[in-house]
Every structure is written in C-alpha cells, then in structure tokens.
Structure 1
C-alpha cells in the first residue's frame, strides 16, 4: 500500500491522517516542532501511523500532503518535494498571513504561489475548501448514495490523477476543477468554499466551526465551481 506523507498536523492534516489509516493507508506525520510532539496523535491513529522529521515524511510519501500556513511553506526546502505528487491544502488568510501583494492583486492563486517555491513538485490543490470537522462527518464508502465531492485543481496531470485517486480512497468523490489558475473558484469566500458543505447555508460565521455538514454531490459542486465569481481578494479581512 502506498504511503502518505503529511507535513503539517493541524486540524486538516490530522483529519486527513485519520481517514487515511481508516482506509488502510500508512501515514508518516511531521510538523515544525519535531516528531516527539506527535506521540499522542500517532498513538490515536495506531500501527499504520508513525512520526518523523519533515525530511522523513517527504521521503516516505508516495503522495505528500502539505498542510501548513501560507507563510510557512518557504521554510520547507523545495528539493524535498521535487518529483512528488503533492496535495496542497493552503489558503490565504490575511488576518494570519499578513498581506501578500501578488494575491491581493489577483496575479496568482494561492497554490500557484506555493508552486513557485516547489517548482519540481506535481502540486495539486484540495481539502482547502472544507472545514476540518466536516471531513469525518462527510466521508462515505465508495458507491454510497450520499457521497460528497471535493474539487481538485492542478497543472500536472499525473499528480492530479494520483491525488484524485487518494481522495476517492479517503471517502469522497473527486471533481477535476481545472488548472491551479482556476483554483480561486474554491478559495475563501468563493461559491465552492466551506459554506457549500453546511447543513444550513445561513449559519452565521461565528457558528460555522460547530455547525453540522450536509453532503454535496458532484453535480452540485460542479455547478458551484461553474457559477463562481472572482472574489476581490484585497477586500478580504480574514
């Protein structure tokens, strides 16, 4: 069974790790603080999980999940992910990351900016448009009538195929959302961002982190992607 390397074990990275081991996929976890800080999560995940350095996680992964804050990605040597299929969950949050002129001016998408650093990687964008607590709520076995779809954007066809297959194994249908240049369609505040997966779309922002999810089939996701309108990134405050 191919191994999943996970760099960054916050809410999204940990949620992906839990789905992976449930699907029988070995994971090698890493973060910026060192493998000893991951003992509790490794114990929870069981024998398919281990912790290592970022270098070890990158080397072990047939696919590598990159789930770190935007400003942290440049601290990771680009050579570690060269030739790797990378699943990038990065979002740009000005309140956390500060202002980034290229993103505010909409010259590039967030993952295009990340790829500029990891030029040798097959980078795809996914799992950035769903709240972490909705991931286990919405994962379903293959063929389930209420299976939820997630978008996947990327420029490297081979890497995108690998990541879409992984997403299917993790319990979601994968929808090809085009190249990275089109990934704005499911970035913050866009139509295919997190509110799409809320059971009640009218949920106030301050209650979203506790709000239940509802399945989003592939056709509904495709419609949201198609109907998405560009977000004025410079006007965003979160």
Structure 2
C-alpha cells in the first residue's frame, strides 16, 4: 500500500517505521521540509518527501500533526482523490492547542478536524500512548495483545485502517462511525489504558461524554504536580485508575 505520514514526531515517526517494516511504500512529510524528518524514522525504508508531493498518488495519508492544525492543510488536500483514506491520530488538549469553542461545546474532535480539512477522516492510533505504540506491539494471536479502536463513516476506509493497525502490532477494534469516536477521546476508559480486544468494547460502551473532558483535565492537572517523569506503566495505571 502507498502510504504518506504527515508529521514525524513520536507517533508519526513510529507509524512510518512500523508500516515500512511491514512492507508498505511509505513517505514521510514534515512542515519543516524533508530535512526535518529524523534519520531514524527512515531507517526501515520510509522516504522523506516534500509536503506537496507526498499527498499525490497515495492510498492512505496519515495525519500525525497537532490537533487544530488541519485547516492549514485544506488547500493541499483539495486535490487529493476522494478514495484516498485519510487517518487522523490527533487528540484535543486545550492547554496545548488553545481552547476550540466548537469542541469545548461538544463537537466530536475528528468531526471538527474533518470539517477543517474539508474531507472525511478515519480516527485511529489516537487512543494509545506513543510509548505503547513504540514498545508494546506484537504479532497477531499473541495473548494479551493490546487493541486500538478505529472509527470512520466509510466501511471501506475503516477496514483499510484496521488492517494497518494490525500491521503496526495491535488488534483493531471496529468502533463504528466517526460521530461515536468521542468514546476513544482523552478522558474515556478506552483512552491510553492498554486494553485487549475483549476489554476494549466494554470500555468504549462505558464512556461518559460529559465526564470525559473533566477527567482529561483532571489527569493533566495531576501530571503537572508530579516531581519526576512517570514511566509508561505508571501513566497507564493513572489513566485506568481515573475510571475505577
């Protein structure tokens, strides 16, 4: 599959490495230009590309950019064919992006992003920490394999994204339409809690739409009080304990 990853940070870089290792033709584009793509992201065979060239003739484009920046790419995406699958990995944290009134008022994150971008998107890879994605992938069938929810309005786009999630080392869970992807946003039981496929569906069902932003902000406030950087396992446990 011909895949472009836009954004070469922790998650984008990891996806580029894993998907190229899995045999896909992967290009990586960064706002800083090809020279802004770290060398280690390209070690598995991915290629750095100019942003304008990177969206042409691709099967899948993965957006791994800060939430709230999609509108900056709307002109670029105007010429991308409708059949190209666009995957959004971002999450809304007001202290990072600034407050976005529509999302604060309840609009689903990826529906807002889709509107800014001017085309439908798939929501995937947002509900697992970068450290989880980098270190906890495993082959299909491994006991305790971590699952990642995938939401989209197009059944075919969702299927494509789910196959790619599997290629990155995680079980993919069909999380339904994009309007329901609030169940995998920050502050929900399914968000960054390293659940298996059997555990993920009940966690998504247990999400409380009104409570999720409050839980998100409460957790972030707690993290700012810590005097040392928590380990991956400690972060996961803090996320889990917020829903006990």
TM-score scaled by length of structure 1: 0.83
Tell me by how many angstroms 1:143 deviates.
Answer: 2.1
SS at match of 2:166: helix
Alignment partner, residue 165 of structure 1:
163
Asked if 1:91 corresponds to 2:91, the answer is yes
- The correspondence of residues 104-123 of structure 1 with structure 2, limited to 5 A, is 104-106=104-106, 108-121=107-120, 123=121
Alignment partner, residue 219 of structure 1:
198
Aligned counterparts of 1:192 and 1:129: Cα–Cα separation in 2? 7
Higher RCO (C-alpha 8 Å, min separation 6): 1
- Moved >6 Å (runs of 4+): none
Aligned counterparts of 1:180 and 1:35: Cα–Cα separation in 2? 32
Aligned counterparts of 1:174 and 1:233: Cα–Cα separation in 2? 22
Tell me by how many angstroms 1:145 deviates.
Answer: 2.2
SS at match of 2:110: helix
Assess, with a 3 A threshold, how the Cα gap between structure 1 residues 82 and 117 changes in structure 2: closer, same or farther.
farther
Aligned length: 214
SS at match of 1:159: helix
Alignment partner, residue 40 of structure 2:
41
Tell me by how many angstroms 1:125 deviates.
Answer: 0.2
1:157-200 Cα shifts (integer Å, max 9, x gaps): 11111111111222211111111111111111111111x12xxx
1:126-156 Cα shifts (integer Å, max 9, x gaps): 1111110111322111222232211001111
Aligned counterparts of 1:81 and 1:189: Cα–Cα separation in 2? 33
Tell me by how many angstroms 1:20 deviates.
Answer: 0.9
Unpaired stretches in structure 1, ≥5 consecutive residues: 198-215
1:203-230 Cα shifts (integer Å, max 9, x gaps): xxxxxxxxxxxxx321101111111111
Alignment check: 8 A CA contact 1:104 1:233 kept: no
Aligned counterparts of 1:10 and 1:177: Cα–Cα separation in 2? 25
SS at match of 1:87: strand
Alignment partner, residue 10 of structure 2:
11
Alignment partner, residue 184 of structure 1:
182
Alignment partner, residue 236 of structure 2:
none
Alignment partner, residue 67 of structure 2:
70
Alignment partner, residue 230 of structure 1:
209
Alignment check: 8 A CA contact 1:34 1:53 kept: yes
Unpaired stretches in structure 2, ≥5 consecutive residues: 221-244
Assess, with a 3 A threshold, how the Cα gap between structure 1 residues 43 and 112 changes in structure 2: closer, same or farther.
closer
Alignment check: 8 A CA contact 1:4 1:28 kept: yes
Alignment partner, residue 144 of structure 1:
142
Tell me by how many angstroms 1:232 deviates.
Answer: 4.3
Aligned counterparts of 1:60 and 1:29: Cα–Cα separation in 2? 14
